[in-house]
Structure 1
Amino acid sequence: MTRASLLEQIRRSNDRLGPHAVAIDAGRPTTIANDQGTEGALARFATASAVGLIAAFVFDGTGVEVVAYGPPEVDDAAIAADVAAMLRSVRPLEGDR
């Protein structure tokens, strides 16, 4: 499994929700990286009452989906640093899982 294939799987699962699906950007995802250098894929989404992003990381074959969202009137620039810090901190747990 790759980060791009995980994001595509998330998109397909979302599409099956019919009227409850969110509008995930269909374009090429943005590449992001955590503090350890593991790259992930990032896509934005929107609903009638929220906007947000979905990040997909793969650690040793295990897919991790991260979702951040809020009301449409939130200023992206005001929270961009906090969301970026959250995504950089995503990593597998050490020891027992």
Structure 2
Amino acid sequence: MRLVIWVLWPAFVAAAIAEAIFFTLIDPAQLYLLGQRVEWSAMATYSTGFFLFWLVCIGSSLMTYWMMPDVAKEALRQAAGERVDLARRQRRQEEDAPRGGG
């Protein structure tokens, strides 16, 4: 699950930045695709553009992860395993607490 987070979250942020820059410079009403004018609403164009940028960024994040040395991957896994999740810690404390009314 952490791999999914490590890949999708940075890709999401990068896609949001890419879309903001792209659509700041280019008006959706003036887009052409394969020589044909795109006749979609602005919202549909923004949404489709975001998902396309996200797919490209996901590919980039995956390639980065796959090309990392195994030592770096293991260090990431170990660091993620040592991190205490606050929600899990609270559950453990509740389970360890003595139950009254016994």
Normalising to structure 2: TM-score of the pair?
Answer: 0.27
Q: When you count strand as a share of all residues, which structure comes out higher?
A: 1
Larger helix proportion, structure 1 or 2? 2
TM-score by length of 1: 0.28
Quick check: which has more Rg, 1 or 2?
A: 2
